[in-house]
Amino acid sequence: MSVKGAELELKSLPRVSARRRMADRTVQSLVYAAFVIAIIPLVSVLWMVVTRGMERLDLDFLTFSMNGLSSSDEGGGANHAIVGTLQQVGLTAVMAVPLGILTGVYLVEYGGNSRLARVITFFVDVMTGIPSIVAGLFILAFWLLALGFEYSGFAGALALAILMMPTVVRATEEMLKLVPNDLREASYALGVPRWRTICFVVLPTALTGIVTGVMLAVARVMGETAPLLLLVFITDAINSNPFEGPQGSLPTFIWYQAGDPNPQAIERAWAAALTLILIIMLLNLGARLLARLRKPVSR
């Protein structure tokens, strides 16, 4: 051993050994392989939805409902479902986003290590894991059966809000934790009260991250089907009042059309799936643009 060591010292800088080169190559190819395997389902899903969906996605599809059409008929559209989804998710966001952001602000800025903060964190964690059907059943038992309300888009939005809130809380919490304490102190040192510091220094700094988190939460609830089947039911006609009667929605539309053996219905299901993806993408782009507009131009 000592002889070997001495030998090494005498020679010039040693080359990378064959073993290390092998290990480097192996790990590198493993990483690339993992990346490719992960991307295959993503790309193939997108490809499938885009190619199949494009066949029926046209102006008719976006502007007509299924009112008076049977599933074997050509034509028809998802307008009633688009209206329903936008209203339901809109109502959900109106309820869940302010609640979620305020909870996140409380946890990071005020709660500290208090018992209340720990309890809230625990329940938010539990809520993150609630299956959507359970949230649906809860609102069904509470809102429809106990309180006696009818099927409505709003009932669905209540269940979706339960699913969305923990995601928003989590995203807000993580982003606020990333805001350096220096900035809070700089603001306090200017004689700015705490709540103003939070509103005008801390939240704007974390804004981009919070917006991303909210959009992820919106995308998640937009595809939920189970609670809507329980609470909003299905209709083929346009119902633009989310507070009364059954409404259409894209996930339930897809579910209903895809379960039908007629090829016309299957086509509509693909087109609706593509519409759903497009809506989420547009919302995402819009939100990012808004978040960017609020920042000072950097060049």
- By CB under 8 A, residue 172 contacts other proteins: no
Length of the chain: 299
The distance of closest approach from Cβ of residue 185 to other proteins in the complex, given in angstroms and rounded to an integer, is 7
Q: Cα dihedral angle (248, 250, 253, 255), rounded to 10 degrees?
A: -130
How many Cβ atoms sit within 10 Å of the Cβ of residue 204?
15
The distance of closest approach from Cβ of residue 106 to other proteins in the complex, given in angstroms and rounded to an integer, is 15
The distance of closest approach from Cβ of residue 196 to other proteins in the complex, given in angstroms and rounded to an integer, is 5
* CA dist list (Å): 180 to 161, 177, 186, 205, 264: 30, 8, 10, 9, 56
Instruction: Let me know if 98 is exposed, middle or buried by CB neighbors in 10 A (0-12, 13-18, 19+).
Output: exposed
- By CB under 8 A, residue 97 contacts other proteins: no
Whole-number Å distance between alpha carbons of 221 and 159? 10
- By CB under 8 A, residue 289 contacts other proteins: no
- By CB under 8 A, residue 14 contacts other proteins: no
Whole-number Å distance between alpha carbons of 205 and 178? 9
Nearer to other proteins, 35 or 200 (CB): 200
Nearer to other proteins, 29 or 114 (CB): 114
The distance of closest approach from Cβ of residue 216 to other proteins in the complex, given in angstroms and rounded to an integer, is 22
Question: Considering only CA atoms, which of 206, 193, 238 is closest in space to residue 66?
Answer: 238
The single residue among 89, 163, 164, 201 that binds other proteins, judged by CB under 8 A, is 201
Nearer to other proteins, 85 or 197 (CB): 197
Q: Which amino acid would we find at residue 79?
A: N
Binding mask 101-140 for other proteins (x = CB under 8 A): -----------xx---------------------------
- Look-up: residue for tokens 């995601």? 167
Question: Which residues, in sequence order, are CB contacts of 260 under 8 Å at separation 6+?
Answer: 71, 266
The structure tokens listed for 271 are 């087109």
- By CB under 8 A, residue 193 contacts other proteins: yes
- By CB under 8 A, residue 296 contacts other proteins: yes
* CA dist list (Å): 57 to 51, 78, 86, 143: 10, 10, 18, 36
- By CB under 8 A, residue 290 contacts other proteins: no
- By CB under 8 A, residue 187 contacts other proteins: yes
How many Cβ atoms sit within 10 Å of the Cβ of residue 269?
21
- By CB under 8 A, residue 292 contacts other proteins: no
- By CB under 8 A, residue 183 contacts other proteins: yes
- Stretch binding other proteins (CB under 8 A), from 65-73, 163-171, 203-211, 274-282: 203-211
Positions in the binding site for other proteins (CB under 8 A): 112-113, 180, 182-193, 196-197, 200-201, 204-205, 207, 294-299
